[in-house]
Amino acid sequence: MSAGKTEKMHLAHILVEHKYEAEDLLRKLASPGAEFGELAKKFSRCSSNSRGGDLGEIELHRLDDDFADAARNLSVGALSPIVRTRFGHHLIKRLG
């Protein structure tokens, strides 16, 4: 990232406490008909859960480094592997 340039992405995530919960959610997301937003509403511990995990357009420098690094590797519509931060375990989805 160059100095003075703000790197932003439209992201959503699901935050859970335990890795096994995130692994279970990955299995659910692999099932036909599973929707990221619905699973976020039901299982995420973040206040963004009411918006289906949608964090909006967010500046990456404001995020945990591991979260931001995972987000940078996502193409639009892609889902990250499990990302561990001090807050817990995340599944991150890059939106439009």
DSSP assignments along 47-89, one per residue: GGGGGTTEEEEEEGGGS-HHHHHHHHTPPTT-B---EEETTEE
74-87 residue pLDDT tens: 999 999 999 999 99
**Region 16-31: what's the mean pLDDT?**
97
Token pair 């992405």: residue: 9
* pLDDT reading at 2 higher than 50: no
What fold is seen in the domain 15-94?
A: Chitinase A; domain 3 (3.10.50)
Pairwise CA distance, residues 20 & 92, whole Å: 16
Torsion over CA: 82, 74, 58, 63 (sign): positive
Confidence of residue 6 (pLDDT cuts 50, 70, 90): confident
